[in-house]
Amino acid sequence: MNKTTELFAPGHRGCAGCCDALAAKFMLKAVGENCIVVTPTGCLEVFSTPFPESAWNVPWIHSLFENAAAVASGVEAALKALGRKNDTKIMAIGGDGATIDIGIRGLSGAFERGHDFTYVCVDNEAYMNTGVQRSGGTPFAATTTTTPAGKASFGNLRPKKNMPQIMLAHGSPYVATTSVAYPKDMMRKVKKATEVTGPTYVHVHAPCTTGWGFDGSKTIELGRLAVETALWPMMDIENGDITGVHKIRNKRPVEEYLKAQKRFKHLFSIPGGADIIKKIQELADWNADQYDL
Amino acid sequence: MSKLTVVEGSYAVAHAAKVCRPDVIPAYPITPQTHIVEELSKFAANGEIGACEYITVESEFSAISALIGACAAGARTYSATTSQGLALMHEVLFNASGMRLPLVMTVANRAMSAPLSIWNDHQDSIAQRDTGWIQLYAEDPQEAADMTPQVYKICEDNKIMLPAMACFDGFILTHVYEPVVLLEQDLTDEFLPPFAPEHILDPSNPKTFGAFADPGVYSEFRYMQELGMSAALKKIETVADEFNEIYGRYYGGLIDGYYLDDAEIVLVAMGSVIGTIKDVLDELRAEGKKVGLLKIRSFRPFPTDAIRNAVKNAAIIVPLDKSISIGKYEGALCTEIKASLYNTKIDIPVLGYMFGHGGRDIPPERIKKIVSEAEKAIVNGITIESSYVDLREELL
C-alpha cells in the first residue's frame, strides 16, 4: 500500500484537472482514515486502481456500476453484526450515471432502509468514462456524444434530474449540495454527512475537463461559474429544512458559464440559440429566487 | 439416534442456515423461495441468530450486492433465491466469484419466464453455470439442509474462496413436509469453523477490492478461479466425509450411485427426480434389468474424472435433464457428459432426455419408458441423440 500521507494518493491515472480526483482527495482529508469507501464503476474507479496499483489508503471496494449503495449497505450491516461499526464511516462515491440513472434503485432501497452511510454523487453531468454520453445528470441543451446538436436538435432536450430532492424525499436527515470548486464547503458537508447517523447524501457538482471541453487548469473556475450563475445552488438540508445556502455575491449571467465550455458552444451559433440561452437563464433565475441565493 | 421432525423443506433449510451462524442475511422474496427467508426473518426477530443483520433489500440485485459488501467486510453471509431473481443477479454472480468472496445461497430451482412459470426445473441455475459459482444439487429436504453447512465449509476454504449455490427443487422440495433431522447447533459448531477470511475491508489495514485489470493481468485472475474450482473437487468429497463422521449422514461427494457398479444402462440426473428414479430402479432390478443411477451432486465443479470412472463399463448412458439449451436441443447434463467422454477410450453411446420442465410431473412410468427406449438403443443404436420425453404433441 502507498506510504504517502494522502488517503487518496497521487500517481493515479486521472486527467490533469480531474474533478473526481479533486473530490476524492479532499473528501478523504475531511473524513479521515477510519472510513471504508465503496465506488461504483466509472472514471474514479478505473483511474485509481489499475491492478496492482491503488490510490486508496483507506479500505476500498468496487463491485459494479449499479450497486454501490447496496454494497455499502452490506458493509454497514457486516460491521454492525461483527461489532466493528463503532466510529467507522462508510462512504460510497459514485458518478452521476451510477447514481442518478443505473444505480437509483439500489440507492433508493438503501436510503429507505436507513443504513448508516453517506452517499456522495460526484456529478460531472455525463458518462465520462465511456466517452461523454448523456446521463440523467446532463443539463438542458448540453451536447454529449449521444445528444449531439444538429439540424433537428439543440442537444440534450431535458433539464437535470433533481437528485437531491429525490434523496430528500427518502427522509434523509442530511442532504447537501456542493462543488469541487469550493473544497472547504465540500469538505465540511461531506464530513458532516458522515457524522450524521443514518443515510446521508452529498451531491457534488464536478466540472470535467474532457467531457465539458475546457482547459484542465480551469476546473475550479468552471465550478465557481456554475455556482455564481445560480445554475448550481449549494445548500445544507437538515431533516428536511434548508439550514444553509451559499449566497452569491455577484450574480453572473449564464452566458459566461456557457461560453467557457465546448458542450454549449453551439448555442452561440445555431438558429434559436439565443432562446435556449434565455431558457437556461430562466433556470438559473428560478434557482436564485427559490433558494434565495 | 437423531430426532426426526416433520417440517417443510424450506424450514429445514432455513434452520440449517441459522445454525451456520450467518452474520448478514439480505433477502428478497420470490416464489418458491419465500418460506426460507420468512423463517429466517422469524429466527432473526426472535434473536435466534445472534447479532445477525437481516436486510430486507429492494431487489435480488441488491441482495447479492449487499452479500458482496458484507462478505468483503468479513461477515458470513446467506441468502436464497430462484429463477428470475437468480437471473437478475447474473452480473453480480460473476463479480462475487471474481472477487473470491465465499457467499452462500440456496437456490430453490424454478423455470425461467416466458412463459411465466413458478414451478420447478433447473434452467435458472444451469443458466448460471459459467459464473464461477460452485453448484451442488440436493435430492431431498434433508440433503438440502445438510448441504448448507457443507457448502460453507467448501467455499470458505482458503484454497477455494469461491461462492456456492446449494440447489434444491422449488415446490417439490421447498414445500414438501417430510421427517428430517434439524441440524444440531453443537454438531454444526463442531463441523463448521467460524469464518476467518485473510482479506477484509478494515481501516486498520486498508486493502483494495475489485481493482481494474488490463489485458496483461486479466486471464491470470480467471485461471486462479479455475484453480479454486479444482481445489473444490477434492474438498467436496472430504467435506461430505467429515459431515458423515459428525452427523452420520452421507449423500455422496461429487457424485453418488444407485445400482451403479454393474449397470448396463446408467441414468444420470440431479435433484428431486433422484427419489423417483431410485424407486423405479428397485422395481426394474427386481425384474432383472441392469439399470443404475449416477447422481450428480456437484455440477460445478463438474466431476469429469469421477463420471468417467463411474460409467466406463456401461452399455449406454442416459442423462436426464430439467434444462434445455435451445438451439442445441439438449440439456446441460447431456452436453457435459458427452464432453466428458470425448478424448477418452470410453466409447459409450449417450442418449439424452429432457423432462419435467416448468414443473411438469415425472411419474415412474416416464422413467420406465426411458429405460425401455435405452434398451432398444443398445441393440439398434441411437437415432435421436436428445429429445423431450414428455411433450404433448397435441399442443404443438
List the single residue in A62, A67, A112 with the smallest CB-CB distance to B61: A67
Reading the block at residue B22, the C-alpha cell is: 450467518
Q: Looking at beta carbons, which residues of chain A come within 8 Å of B23? A: 78, 81-82
Distances (CA, A) of B165 to B148, B297, B330: 9, 12, 23
CA–CA dist B70, B52 (Å, integer): 11
Q: Do B208 and A75 touch (CB under 8 A)?
A: no
Instruction: For residue B56, give the 3-state DSSP assignment.
Output: strand
* Contact status of B134 with chain A (Cβ, < 8 Å): no
What residue of A is the nearest CA neighbor of B21?
A: A81
- Chain A residues 213-272 with a CB less than 8 Å from chain B: none
Mean pLDDT, residues B353-359: 98
Which long-range contacts does A265-271 make (Cβ < 8 Å, 24+ apart)? A265/A213, A266/A143, A266/A149, A266/A154, A266/A155, A267/A141, A267/A154, A267/A155, A270/A149, A270/A154
Q: Do A64 and B91 touch (CB under 8 A)?
A: yes
Whether A2 has a pLDDT exceeding 50, the answer reads no
Write down the mean pLDDT value for chain A. Answer: 97
Query: Is the separation of the CB atoms in A77 and B75 below 8 Å?
Result: yes
Distance, first Cα to last Cα, chain A: 44
Its pTM stands at 0.97
Whether B2 has a pLDDT exceeding 90, the answer reads no
Q: Do B74 and A49 touch (CB under 8 A)?
A: no
The per-residue pLDDT for B261 is 95
The per-residue pLDDT for B52 is 97
Whether B1 has a pLDDT exceeding 80, the answer reads no
List the single residue in B59, B71, B201 with the smallest CB-CB distance to A36: B201
Q: Where are the alpha helices (DSSP H) in B46-178?
A: 60-72, 83-88, 90-98, 123-126, 141-155
What residue of B is the nearest CA neighbor of A49?
A: B211
User: What is the residue whose three cell numbers read 454527512?
Assistant: A193
Query: Is the separation of the CB atoms in B273 and B322 below 8 Å?
Result: yes
Mean pLDDT, residues A88-111: 98
CA–CA dist A154, A273 (Å, integer): 8
* Contact status of A32 with chain B (Cβ, < 8 Å): no
For A39, phi then psi, to 5°, come to -125, 130
Nearest to B271 by CA among B121, B110, B138: B138
Q: Where are the alpha helices (DSSP H) in A163-218?
A: 163-168, 183-195
Whether B238 has a pLDDT exceeding 50, the answer reads yes
Nearest to A107 by CA among A117, A284, B100, A186: A117
Instruction: For residue A39, give the 3-state DSSP assignment.
Output: coil
The per-residue pLDDT for B243 is 98
Q: What is the ipTM of this complex?
A: 0.97
CA–CA dist A149, B273 (Å, integer): 61
Shortest CA gap B204–chain A (Å): 8
Shortest CA gap B97–chain A (Å): 11
* Contact status of A34 with chain B (Cβ, < 8 Å): yes
Q: Looking at beta carbons, which residues of chain A come within 8 Å of B61? A: 66-67, 70, 105-106
Reading the block at residue A94, the C-alpha cell is: 459514485
The per-residue pLDDT for A3 is 56
List the single residue in A59, A62, A71 with the smallest CB-CB distance to B206: A59
CA–CA dist B264, B261 (Å, integer): 9
Mean pLDDT, residues B121-131: 98
Q: Is the dihedral of CA B72, B76, B81, B82 positive or negative?
A: positive
The per-residue pLDDT for A4 is 65
What residue of A is the nearest CA neighbor of B56?
A: A113
pLDDT digits (tens, 9 = 90+) for A106-163: 999 999 999 999 999 999 999 999 999 999 999 999 999 999 999 999 999 999 999 9
Shortest CA gap A103–chain B (Å): 10
* Contact status of B396 with chain A (Cβ, < 8 Å): no
Nearest to B52 by CA among B17, B22, B14: B22
Whether A197 has a pLDDT exceeding 80, the answer reads yes
Q: Looking at beta carbons, which residues of chain A come within 8 Å of B99? A: 63
Q: Is the dihedral of CA A120, A126, A132, A133 positive or negative?
A: positive
Query: Is the separation of the CB atoms in B351 and B314 below 8 Å?
Result: no
